[in-house]
Amino acid sequence: MKAYILDAYGKANRLRLGDRPDPVVGPHDVLVEIHAAALNVIDSKIRNGEFKLILPYKPPLVLGADFAGIVRQVGANVTRFAVGDAVYGSPRQGRIGTFAELIAVDQADVALKPVNLSMEEAASIPLVGLTAWQVLVERAKLKRGQKVLIHAGSGGVGSFAIQLAKHLGLHVATTAGTSNLDLVRGLGADTVIDYKTQEFSELVSGYDVALNSLDGKTLAKSLETLKPGGKLISISGPPDPAFARQQGLNWGLRLVMRLLSAGIRAKARRHDVSYSFLFMQASGEQLATIATLIEGGAIRPVVDRVFPFAELNDAMAYIDTGRAKGKVVVSIR
């Protein structure tokens, strides 16, 4: 199969289009012919080598964690899918590789594609949809009427999280640049803050949860927006001891995670709130629920640009600018 290969870590490194062996299909796997794949910030971070201590990847490798396509083969123990099914998903840790023509994925990480979405639209959903679901529903356990601050509302996670939060009956505040204010209002945000001209920590207070996907300065200021007992949840770091345990890291790396997050955890305690880091986990079951919401009109995909497969490196460069509204996708077939 054709695939884009990362030969070595490095910010300036382009992915090389080359040949890779077709995936081996395990007894619980489905082999998917990939029609579209989305790009995410984590692809750049892995390429740059930022996660090489905590994620089990070594070059040469194929990046990519979002896909939509057609099932072409099923393993001996697969019961949920059949050849010909249109599916979408995000492979579990250790099995990424959607910048390719084919991928073998555990059936537990896959769901039927929402019937009202194109392949490109469907591919834009899994990673950001699962991240938003796991923050708002699983980790925060938010209830109707509560308030959430979602940073970077025009980004991939933010644009999905705003819509999910409104479906859950929450009051949503979000930050965005001047040119994206109408976009986030259209997604349902109640309080819209122009981060270029306004200071969010002076305009938002008494919130139940803040979802951070930005830098450490934004993370620390977000503490000021929460009420006592509130939750600060970050998907951009720093990793905390609970994450280190979840990953099964050795004692040395656990100590590093503890030290990296010590400052923000101490500040959180002084504000009488909690801090935690969330790293998305694959779940076909959650994607099936998300597909129902999409088919019912509660959530729509936000796709900035679709690149042809031959221009994947251009798509990576566009992601690196940080200017994408929603998701960036490559069309493979």
DSSP string, 199-216: -HHHH--SEEEEEE-S-H
Q: According to CATH, where is 3.40.50.720 located in the chain?
A: 127-277
Cα distances from 110 to residues 1, 41, 81, 87, in angstroms, run 21, 21, 9, 7
Q: What is the pLDDT of residue 274?
A: 97
Q: What are phi and psi of 190, to 5 degrees?
A: -85, -40
Compute the distance between CA of residue 46 and CA of residue 64 in angstroms, rounded to an integer.
10
Compute the distance between CA of residue 168 and CA of residue 212 in angstroms, rounded to an integer.
19
CATH architecture of the domain 127-277 equals 3-Layer(aba) Sandwich (3.40)
Would you say the pTM of this structure is higher than 0.85?
Answer: yes
Q: What is the pLDDT of residue 255?
A: 94
Compute the distance between CA of residue 201 and CA of residue 330 in angstroms, rounded to an integer.
37
Compute the distance between CA of residue 272 and CA of residue 244 in angstroms, rounded to an integer.
23
Fold of domain 2-125+301-331: Quinone Oxidoreductase; Chain A, domain 1 (3.90.180)
Each of the 333 residues of the chain gets a pLDDT tens digit; together they read: 999 999 999 988 999 999 999 999 999 999 999 999 999 999 999 999 998 888 878 999 999 999 999 999 999 999 999 999 999 999 999 999 999 999 999 999 999 999 999 999 999 999 999 999 999 999 999 999 999 999 999 999 999 999 999 999 999 999 999 999 999 999 999 999 999 999 999 999 999 999 999 999 999 999 999 999 999 999 998 999 999 998 888 999 999 999 999 999 999 999 999 999 999 999 999 999 999 999 999 999 999 999 999 999 999 999 999 889 999 999 998
Cis peptide before 301 (omega within 30 of 0): no
Burial class, 308, CB count within 10 angstroms (exposed 0-12 / middle 13-18 / buried 19+):
exposed
Report the SS3 class of residue 101.
Answer: coil
Residue of 54, 127, 60 lying closest to 88 (CA atoms): 127
Q: What is the pLDDT of residue 53?
A: 81
Asked whether 66 and 139 are in contact (CB, 8 A), the reply is no
Compute the distance between CA of residue 228 and CA of residue 73 in angstroms, rounded to an integer.
52
Compute the distance between CA of residue 160 and CA of residue 327 in angstroms, rounded to an integer.
10
Report the SS3 class of residue 318.
Answer: helix
Q: According to CATH, where is 3.90.180.10 located in the chain?
A: 2-125+301-331
Asked whether 152 and 162 are in contact (CB, 8 A), the reply is no
For β-strands 86-89 and 110-112, DSSP reports them as: antiparallel
User: What are 173's two structure tokens?
Assistant: 């505040």
